[in-house]
Amino acid sequence: MTTQASQTLKKPLGLTGEMYRRALVDSVLKLNPRWMVRNPVMFVVEVGSVLTTALWIQALSGAGEAAAWYIGSVSLWLWFTVLFANFSEALAEGRGKAQAEALRRSRRETKAKLLHDPRDRSKFNIVSSIDLKKGDLYLVEPGDILSADGEVVEGVASVDESAITGESAPVIRESGGDRSAVTGGTRALSDWLVIRVMAEPGGGFLDRMIKLIEGAKRQKTPNEIALNILLAAFTIIFLVVCVTLLPYSLFSVSAAGQGTPVTITVLVALLVCLIPTTIGGLLSAIGIAGMDRMIRHNVIATSGRAIEAAGDVDVLLLDKTGTITLGNRMATDFSPAPGISKEQLADAAQLASLADETPEGRSIVILAKEKYGLRGREIHQISAQFIPFSAQTRMSGADIQPAGKSSRRIIRKGATDAIKAFIEQQGGVFPAEVQATVQEISKIGATPLVVSENKEVLGVIHLKDIVKGGIKERFAHLRKMGIRTVMITGDNQLTATAIAAEAGVDDFLAEAKPEDKLKLIRDYQKGGRLVAMTGDGTNDAPALAQADVAVAMNTGTQSAREAANMIDLDSNPTKLMEIVEIGKQLLMTRGTLTTFSIANDVAKYFAIIPAAFATTYPVLNALNIMKLATPESAILSAVIFNALIIVVLIPLALKGVKYRAVSAVQLLRRHLFVYGLGGIVAPFVGIKLVDMFLQVIGMT
Amino acid sequence: MTTNGIFQLLFYLAALILLAKPLGAFMSRVYQRQKTFLDPVFGPVERLIYRLSRINPDEEMDWKENAVAFLMFNFVGLIIVYGLQRLQQLLPLNPQGLGAVSPDSSFNTAISFATNTNWQGYGGETTMSYLTQMLGLTVQNFVSAASGMAVLVLFIRALARHSATTLGNFWVDLTRSTLYILMPLAVIVALVLISQGSVQNFSAYASASLLQPTTDTSGAKVTEQLIAMGPAASQIAIKQLGTNGGGFFNVNSSHPYENPTPFSNFLEMLSILLIAGALCYTLGAMVGDTRQGWALLAAMTIILVVGIFAAYHYESAGNPKFDSLGVDQHTTAINPGGNMEGKEVRLGIANSALWATVTTAASNGSVNAMHDSFTPMGGLVPLVMMQLGEVVFGGVGSGLYGMLVFVIVAVFVAGLLVGRTPEYLGHKIEAYEMKMASLLILIMPLTVLGLTALAVITSAGTSSILNPSAHGFSEVLYTFTSQGNNNGSAFAGLNANTPFYNITGGLAMLISRYWLAVPTLALGGSLVRKKLIPAGEGTLPTHTPLFIFWLIAVVLIVGALNFFPALALGPIVEHFMMIQ
């Protein structure tokens, strides 16, 4: 599935040369102040760049406050700082744009067969897909591209949905039930469908998806807004720090009786170095990249807010089947009745299941073969009449006429009470020992399947839910992160308890009906918890709408997809855990870069302050602990480092901080050490290196 | 530094920490209106006050109503203090016949006492009548402190409650702070001070013949000395306890009648931080998790200890420039050693450095030595203590709510670091909280740096600078740092009793008190509405050593980053020039 899914969506995700070129052009286009003002930190840098450019021009004319080459270099690197930040954003957007284009190709304008009467498929008008309104009915025939999102009203057809899912195998869409939702842009392969349009023009799933991927609809998420406020506050404070430094300097010059006041160039350089440009420049790239990571996991989030909420989730509601256990129950053991050998039981069980094409039936044949060496017998080799499962008898099996014998073997397998009734009807006795075995099996969460031959009970087959490998460890990790896992199952209490224990979930809801799910979510939310769940059916829709993070399977119904705030194109219920990780990663990346950015300021002070007041107070050179060559090189080195660090951190912003399933305290300790302490130390080294390089190339 | 000196510092810290729990637990009972042993004494008085002022103590108010009550009450107090100063020549209890105080000085002083700053541009014994001192200044010493405590308690309730709208009743918290906490403590401290020799009378100033006559600046012979009197002890007790700091006498607690003995010195220093420290415990008790209170107290204490020892170290190390003048700065049995300039010989270096750090860590501002005469780095300590935003203990009430704002910022960034929308005590920290927290962090540096810049480039500002040098810059910076943080201590060497400094300083004090208190209440109003988020494994605990360390880092980085350039041009460059 995943390899196929990569066809349309994953292929453009590698960064191509074309993307870099486009990002370079975009980063220049983004210099437009009307765009820049959305990001206060970088807007300040741009204003500083303009100001220093003006000073450079003034210096060229011979009346500058410092040497023209020096002001020019500072100005150039300030421009680079803005461009690097724009570049990171453009690069993150570029990946989305490439995907959006792939999608747009399948969304091109099509002709739709508009029906007037759903019962009469012969009369239709050909209209353009953009003219379809909500509520209209249209006909699709083999080869047609579906013109709009909707619900199948009539018909059954196989549809190629690879344009949105990347899955090349066609899917069946039919009226009624859970497979009635269709998406515009997909292609009908066989038969015909009558579809009622459910989306306004331009508001279809594909349109929304394109907009989301392109980032056109990207709004700042709550957490991002809060961080932006803090960054703006830092920017204002540092602006005042730098502006007031000019009067301080003027006073100091007159007090010390020597030197010249600090230049505007130096003040702008100091300002740009102090304000959190690293995080300010990378912030939007981090957000876009978060959305992008979701898409790479084939999950479409309807908003950035949903991704962020995913990081905060405290409770995961997981459907048992398909998420915690493999889809079906499997036979794991045979328990013969007294006086019957295991081989006898296995043989009868296999015979009873030969024609049973259900996964349970097949697993019995396989178990008998693997454990007791009973070759799979071909159905036609034995003269047998197979009895399929029916809701009335609740049994299946075979009536076999062995060669050369007159008596028939009537073999049945089924639920305990059904077999018991069947046996007793024939005058047989249901042994107490078997009854005990049945209860034991139920107690451990497995399903007992009793096998009988004629009026004799042969024994019991254990049918068991198989918990997916590694799932227990995964839940343990989630627990460490403070996330509760709750298993939802239609099984009875006993079975659910056993599976819950085996899978290591924190809680479970047995015999769950959709309204129980809704109530459970509400209860958790009342307790202040954020709940995430997956769902696909129409009856899941209320719970999906209630959950904070709701992931709908792409195979699900239209109403489920409408109610959810994320859609998993792979329709893989385990995806929920990855979604949580991506959400956390997004927040962590912001946090680490913020810490790093502010921690950087310490070193920048030590580089710039002694240099800025070198003529007034030469003794302040004692603060020049990096031993930077000259005041000019010190300031230039700080500015260059400040610009380059953005480029260095672009990969981290796009990839995200590596996610680790450890407790909050351990994570904080680690990140404070790496990005806090690292953020203090790194610029000391970096600025010194740049300074040494400047000396080597003789710029100072 | 001497062993004896270090022992005294540690003894002080031990006493401070030991008293936090009993007093803090008592205050939590007071604010939750539980029974206390003082009920028989103050219960009737309290009920009478409510009846007379028609307050229903059971009626709770939301943050806006509380903010209005707080502002109105403070405004009325401000007007009264202003009026008393302007009219004192017409009023009784003025045996020295002191005249009306000038309008700008009255303006500054009225704000100064209403805002719990107690910056004094005037000399007490030569300016204020006994009536002004008692009815104006001492009353404000009580109620400005109680106002700060009330705002804090309203904020603590916001943290303790969830899905609510009201924070409590400002009037009740104000009354109970004054009656049950400040009054009894002030009476005890005043009585002990009187026992130590502080004056408490309404006498005219005493006159004494000098044993060794001297001459004044004009060359005239001086044979008599006027000795100032007054109801000093009662005002000193509350000025220390309420982190007011406004001295009865001009030289504050270096005056022998204000601070007569080593024991009175210890008690006065203890009084400065006593309530502010204990309020941390009160916070923990009221939110139902005392570890939270201890964590904040630990963070504050660690910063304080670093400050104390830095100041003590630099003062003990002395000034190398003195060596060339033949001053012996070596510590011997009969010589305290180090930098004794501007210090009382009877108090010595350890106690002067300790007081300087403590009085600026808290927004007290009383002094027992002249901070202006400290070594550059010794003087940097009090400056930095104030520039951290008066959150290291800080003013009674205001210090802790200031610290809680830093906690919110620390929690926010830490929350991002661990990949979860941050929460503190079960309250989610969102955009609105960050807006208020950012505003609260922003205002102080803006005020201090902005007004300092104005002062050093206008002639109105520079004409008051008596030392036109890096030290002159330090003095201006200190002046606005002190007023812009409601501290009130002063570097001398600057004539701050001019219209320019009185008005700009007055504005700084108003801004730093009310522009911080009102957003704090707004923040509380938002926090109290939040649904409780139960703590789980993914919740970042806010009581661990790691979080304490992180909180300290945030306080230091935000404080130090804002003021580093200004400090570099003041005390830091002075230091390098001194050791050159």
Structural domain containing residue B453: 3-579
Contact B421 A311 (CB under 8 A): yes
**Domains held by chain B: number:** 1
Neighbours of A593 (CB within 10 A): 26
Q: What is the pLDDT of residue A165?
A: 65
Nearest Cα neighbor of B269 from B368, B390, B142 is B368
For the question of residue A319 being annotated catalytic, the response is yes
Contacts of B561 in chain A (CB under 8 A): 238, 274, 598, 601-602, 605
Residue with tokens 């990207």: A218
The segments of chain A whose pLDDT lies below 50 read 1-13, 216
Catalytic entry in A136, A207, A319, A548: A319
| Planar angle of CA B358, B361, B365, nearest 5 degrees | 70
Of B431, B538, B547, the CB nearest to A482: B538
- Rounded Cα–Cα distance for residues A188 and A616 (Å): 80
Band of residue B37 on the pLDDT scale cut at 50, 70, 90: very high
Kindly determine whether residue B453 and residue A241, on different chains, have CB atoms separated by under 8 Å. no
Which pLDDT band holds residue B544 (cuts at 50, 70, 90)? very high
Residues in chain B: 580
Place of tokens 């202006």: B372
A689 touching chain B per CB within 8 A: no
B456 neighbourhood in chain A, CB within 8 Å: 247-248, 250-251
Question: Chain B within 8 Å of A254 (Cβ-Cβ)?
Answer: yes
Which CA distances in Å does A532 have to A88, A292, A524?
A: 31, 20, 11
Rounded Cα distance, A331 and A367, in Å? 7
Burial readout A349-383 (b: 16 or more C-beta within 10 A, e: otherwise): bbbbbbbbeeebbbbbbebbeeebebeeeeeeeee
**Phi then psi for A237, rounded to 5 degrees?**
-60, -45
Side-by-side strand order, sheet with A124-128? A124-128, A111-115, A137-140, A193-197, A150-154, A181-182
On whether any CB of chain B is under 8 Å from the CB of A476, the answer is: no
Residue whose structure tokens are 């807010």: A305
Report the distance separating Cα A297 and Cα A586, nearest Å: 15
Residue A700: what pLDDT? Answer: 62
Partners of A667 on chain B (C-beta within 8 Å) are: 417-419
- Cβ partners under 8 Å of residue B368, min gap 6: B252, B253, B254, B259, B265, B268, B344, B347, B351, B352, B355
B436, B537, B548: which to substitute to probe chain A, counting the most A Cβ within 10 Å?
A: B537
The pLDDT of residue A219 is 67
CB-nearest partner of A241 from B437, B562, B580: B562
**Alpha-carbon distance A683 to nearest alpha carbon in chain B (angstroms):** 16
**pLDDT single digits (tens) A183-229:** 887 888 878 888 888 877 777 777 767 776 665 455 677 888 899 99
* Cα end-to-end span (Å), chain B: 23
pLDDT at A349: 87
pLDDT for res B84: 93
Burial of B425 from C-beta contacts in 10 A (0-12 / 13-18 / 19+): buried
> d(Cα B289, Cα B272) in Å, to the nearest integer?
26
Using CB atoms, pick whichever of B457, B532, B572 lies closest to residue A247: B457
Average pLDDT, chain B: 92
The token pair at B424 is 């503190």
**Min Cα–Cα distance to chain B from A193, Å:** 46
B569/A663 CB distance under 8 A: no
Check: CB of residue A451 under 8 Å from CB of residue A348: yes
User: HEC string of A100-162?
Assistant: HHHHHHHCCCCEEEEECCCCCCCCEEEEEHHHCCCCCEEEECCCCECCCCEEEEECEEEEECH
Q: What residue has token string 């075979």?
A: A398
Of A66, A33, A102, which Cα lies nearest the Cα of A612? Answer: A66
Are β-strands A315-319 and A484-488 bridged in parallel, bridged antiparallel, or unpaired? parallel
Q: Cite the beta strand spans of A561-694 per DSSP E.
A: 566-568
Interface test mutation site (partner B, options A228, A230, A293, A601, max chain B beta carbons within 10 A): A230
- Following DSSP, what letter does each residue of A438-507 receive, concatenated? HHHHHHTT-EEEEEEETTEEEEEEEEEEEEPTTHHHHHHHHHHTT-EEEEE-SS-HHHHHHHHHHHT-SE
Residue of A nearest to B468 (CA): A255
Question: What 8-state DSSP symbol labels residue B318?
Answer: -
Residue type, B287: V
Q: How far is CA A274 from CA A45, A184, A644, B407, B557, in A?
A: 11, 50, 15, 23, 12
- The 3-state DSSP class for residue B213 equals strand
Partner residue opposite B538 with nearest CB, options A232, A481, A594: A481
How far is B452 from B478, CA to CA, in rounded Å? 9
**DSSP single-letter state for residue B72:** H
A-B C-beta contacts closer than 8 Å: 208
Comparison of pLDDT for B177 and B245, the residue scoring more: B177
Question: Is residue B568 within a helix (H) or strand (E), and if so which, with residue range?
Answer: none
- Chain A nearest-CA distance from B413, in A, is 6
- Residue B465: phi and psi, rounded to 5, are -80, 120
Q: What is the mean pLDDT of chain A?
A: 84
User: A277: closest CA among A52, A611, A49, A90?
Assistant: A49
The SS3 assignment for B255 reads coil
- C-beta atoms surrounding A445 within 10 Å: 20
* The pair of three-digit structure tokens given for residue A678, joined into one six-digit string: 């690292």
Whether the predicted pLDDT of B329 surpasses 80? yes
- pLDDT the model gives residue A244: 96
A669 touches chain B (CB under 8 A): yes
pLDDT at B160: 95
Query: Which chain A residues have a beta carbon less than 8 Å from that of B470?
Result: 252, 255-256, 617
Token pair of A102 as six digits: 């792939």
First to last CA, chain A: 59
Hey, what are A680's tokens? 């203090």
C-alpha dihedral, A123 to A126 to A130 to A133, nearest 10° = -10
Cβ A518 vs Cβ A509: under 8 Å: no
Search chain B and give the residue with CA nearest A621: B576
Strand partners, A486: A317, A507
Tokens of A561: 């997809």
CA dihedral A24, A28, A34, A35 (to 10 degrees): 10
Is residue A583 within 8 A of residue A481, CB to CB? The reply is: no
Which A residues in the span 340-359 are in contact with B, Cβ-Cβ below 8 Å?
Answer: none
Cβ A485 vs Cβ A505: under 8 Å: yes
ipTM value of the model? Answer: 0.92
Contacts of B437 (CB under 8 A, 6+ apart): A230, B405, B408, B409, B412, B523
Q: Could you give the CA distance from residue B334 to residue B324 in angstroms, rounded to a whole number?
A: 21
Nearest to A667 among B417, B435, B452 (CB): B417
Q: Are A539 and A289 in contact (CB under 8 A)?
A: no
Over range B270-278, report the average pLDDT: 96
What's the token pair of residue A394?
A: 């609740």
Within 8 A of B556 by CB-CB distance, chain A residues are none
Q: List the one residue out of A104, A87, A98 whose CA is nearest residue A15.
A: A98
Closest Cα in chain A to B449:
A244
Is residue B575 over pLDDT 80? yes
Phi, psi torsion values for A554, nearest 5 degrees:
-65, -25
Give pLDDT, residue A249: 95
B550 contacts A668? CB cut-off 8 A: yes
Q: Do B439 and A311 touch (CB under 8 A)?
A: no
Q: What is the pLDDT of residue A6?
A: 35
Angle (CA) B65 B67 B69, round 5°? 70
pLDDT digits (tens, 9 = 90+) for A68-109: 999 999 999 999 999 999 999 888 888 777 777 777 776 667
Q: Identify the pLDDT of residue A622.
A: 94
The pLDDT of residue B403 is: 96
Query: Could you tell me whether strands A193-197 and A156-160 are parallel, antiparallel, or unpaired per DSSP bridges?
Result: unpaired
Tokens, residue A513: 């009906």
Residue in the structure block whose two tokens are 């957007």: A93
Give the closest of A584, A599, A622 to B419, CB-based.
Answer: A584
How high is the pLDDT of residue A9? 41
pLDDT by residue (tens digit) across B128-150? 888 888 888 889 999 999 999 99
Q: Cβ atoms within 10 A of the Cβ of A338, count?
A: 10
Neighbour-count burial of A82, counting CB atoms closer than 10 A to its CB (0-12 exposed, 13-18 middle, 19+ buried): buried
Distance CA A652, CA A678 (A): 15
